[in-house]
Chain A
Amino acid sequence: MLIKVAHPFPIKPSEITPEVVHADRRRFLRQAGLATAGAALFGYGPAKSVGAEAELAPLNVARKSEMAGGETVTPYADITHYNNYYEFGTAKEDPSRNAGRLRTRPWSVVVDGECEAPGHIDIDDLLKPQALEERIYRHRCVEAWSMVAPWVGLPLADFLKRFRPTSKAKYVAFETLYDRQQMPETARGVLDWPYREGLRIDEAMHPLAFLSVGLYGRVLPNQDGAPLRLTLPWKYGFKSIKSIVRVRFMERQPEVTWNKMAPDEYGFYSNVNPAVDHPRWSQAQERRLGELFKRKTLMFNGYPEVASLYTGMDLRRFF
């Protein structure tokens, strides 16, 4: 199956980098104007300037696809300052503050299990020969907020096929780095580390499943899952595991972190589905970052092309 490219990429490459600067400038103006009033009242200056992410290395992007129905892309500052990455703290701003400790080089990924060519792969060896593409995807968090982000990376299938999975490989499991030194917040044991996720092999091989290494034309900021993370736009955000160090092909369905933590609240599949509520809150609506009122959530987050993966399945049972 081919990916339907909804629109030709509407933004010229030269406009991507300026958005990073642009976000800074807007923020700066906002802060400068308001902070003058604020300073007069409370004696405070503007908050500290936005981080060093703007200096992250630009990536060579060979192909661009707009796959979010032409919706407005969320500003860089929001995508990088509103994160769920519990290894760096549970508040949304924590990762942008704490993920600076993460060392993303050297970085290698161990791939093993039911495949003919298991092994280690160094992130730079992976990236050097790889033509990268950009995809603008909607992102829907299980907490009922959403955004639109321009990811840079490669189809997950292209990566997985290198290791030649065997016919026994029915599932793929992924694991995030777990290092107490770089991630001191993990000492609190909010989740059962390391963070683990998994997909059925046909889901993992689906053309929409993406392995991201960049954001807004540049290397991924640490808080967004550097140096490489999954991007699965039809599933709730927590399925898109960050900072991957291990991939394993498996015959049985792997254990995954949130499902293990609360099996009645987070299913293995966790496809975006407005008809199946989280036990504690509704999934029918979501708040897009940058908008005040809620909007309707779309089935599979507006990616109906994945529906054929689940024909004949009761999505209430396999939520």
Chain B
Amino acid sequence: MIRLWAWRAAAWSLGLLPLALGLKSILQGRLGANPVEFVEHFTGDWTLRLLLATLAMTPLRMLTGLTEPIRVRRILGLWTFAFLCLHFLTYLVFDLSFSMTQLAEDLVKRTYITLGFTAWLLLLALALTSTVGWQRRLKRRWITLHRLIYPAALLGAIHYLWLVKADTREPLIYLSILLVLLGFRLPWQRLMGRQRARASAKVDP
């Protein structure tokens, strides 16, 4: 029980950390010459980092055998979504001045916006159904539904890769970490097992 509380506190701290860092930058007047860009990048970076942290919980459980990571997953997921909403809102307010026609135009013409927006829609569905009530109502389908975090994360990471001008190092680092985390989900044992079965079938006709 104490261990679970410690995990919960850690998850909340991880969600609150970027808020504190952002506030610190504001208070110190360090948003630079282009504050809108600063906020857009800051919230985008932290959305991606928290998303990776959320996706790291299952591998963490597989590696340690602990169940706490799974029990704080929702906290991390909801913080991810909160930062994503700030990110989206910055774009809506300062880039588009809330113009819906311009949003429609960007969604059609700018692939990186299309990718990011699709990710937002998927994560919106997950945030709305994240409650225990929905978990009960959807039963097994809940698990299937929440696998949508995988394509959402891929879309988010590719969105980042798509928008940089020339220096792809950072987006590629994030994408690699994501692929490793997703790699844990592949049914390795079954795959290996089948190979072993096939190998032995050859030796032993």
| Secondary structure class of chain A's binding surface, majority of residues | loop
The reply to whether B33 and A287 contact each other, CB–CB distance below 8 Å, is no
Is the beta-carbon distance between B163 and A81 smaller than 8 angstroms?
no
**A82 and B34 contact, CB distance less than 8 A:** yes
Are A86 and B166 in contact (CB-based, < 8 A)?
Answer: yes
B204 contacts chain A at the CB level, 8 A cutoff: no
Select the residue from A27, A42, A277 with max chain B CB neighbours within 10 A: A42
Residues on A with C-beta less than 8 A from B26 are 34
CB neighbours (8 Å) of B201 from chain A are none
Does B147 count as interface, using CB distance less than 8 angstroms?
no
Q: Which residues of A contact B111 (CB under 8 A)?
A: 280
- A145 and B34 form a contact (CB under 8 A): yes
**In the complex, B35 has a CB within 8 A of chain A:** yes
Closest A-chain residue to B25, C-beta based? Answer: A38
| Contact of A280 with B167 at beta-carbon distance under 8 Å, contacts A42-B24, A145-B34, A292-B36 already known | no
Task: Specify which chain A residues have a CB less than 8 angstroms from the CB of B163 in the assembled complex.
Answer: 280-281
Task: Check A261–B166 contact: CB distance below 8 A.
Answer: yes
CB contact between A34 and one of B29, B162, B166 (< 8 Å): that residue: B29
Query: Which of B23, B162, B166: most chain A CB closer than 10 A?
Result: B166
Q: Does B198 contact A (CB under 8 A)?
A: no
Q: How far is the CA of A37 from the CA of B32 in the complex (A)?
A: 18
Q: Does A44 make an interface contact (CB < 8 A)?
A: yes
Complex Cα distance, B167 from A191, in Å, reads: 9
Q: Find chain B residues with CB under 8 A from A294 CB.
A: 94-95, 97
6 residue pairs, one from A and one from B, having the closest CB atoms? A82-B33, A78-B33, A38-B27, A90-B167, A30-B29, A289-B33
- Enumerate chain A interface residues (CB-CB to B < 8 A): 27, 30-31, 34-35, 37-38, 41-42, 44, 46-47, 74, 77-78, 81-82, 86, 90, 92-93, 143, 145, 188, 190-191, 261, 277, 280-282, 287, 289-290, 292-294
Q: Interface of B with A (CB < 8 Å)?
A: 20, 23-24, 26-30, 32-37, 94-95, 97, 106, 109-112, 162-163, 165-167, 169
Q: Give 6 pairs: A residue, B residue, CB < 8 Å, sorted on A.
A: A44-B28, A47-B28, A47-B30, A143-B165, A190-B167, A280-B112
